[in-house]
Amino acid sequence: MSHLIHDLVNDRIQTLHREAEEERLALRLQRVRRAQRKAQKANDRLRRALLLQW
């Protein structure tokens, strides 16, 4: 019985580690997408400013 409990505990720990890694990846992806949007907005502002000069 002790062996079964040990296996269950190990499985749960592995699941928690996997879920934590997935959450870190999701947060990283959110930061990348936010940075991409910010860069796109900056490019749009620059393009508009350059077009106004002509």
Q: What does the alpha-carbon distance between residue 21 and residue 23 come to, in Å, rounded to a whole number?
A: 5
Q: For the segment 10-51, what is each residue's pLDDT rounded down to a tens digit?
A: 999 999 999 999 999 999 999 999 999 999 999 999 999 999
> pTM of the prediction?
0.71
Res. 1: pLDDT tops 80: no
53 pLDDT more than 80: yes
**For residue 12, what are the contacts with CB-CB under 8 A and spacing of at least 6?**
none
Per-domain residue ranges for the chain? 1-54
Confidence tier at 54 by pLDDT (50, 70, 90): confident
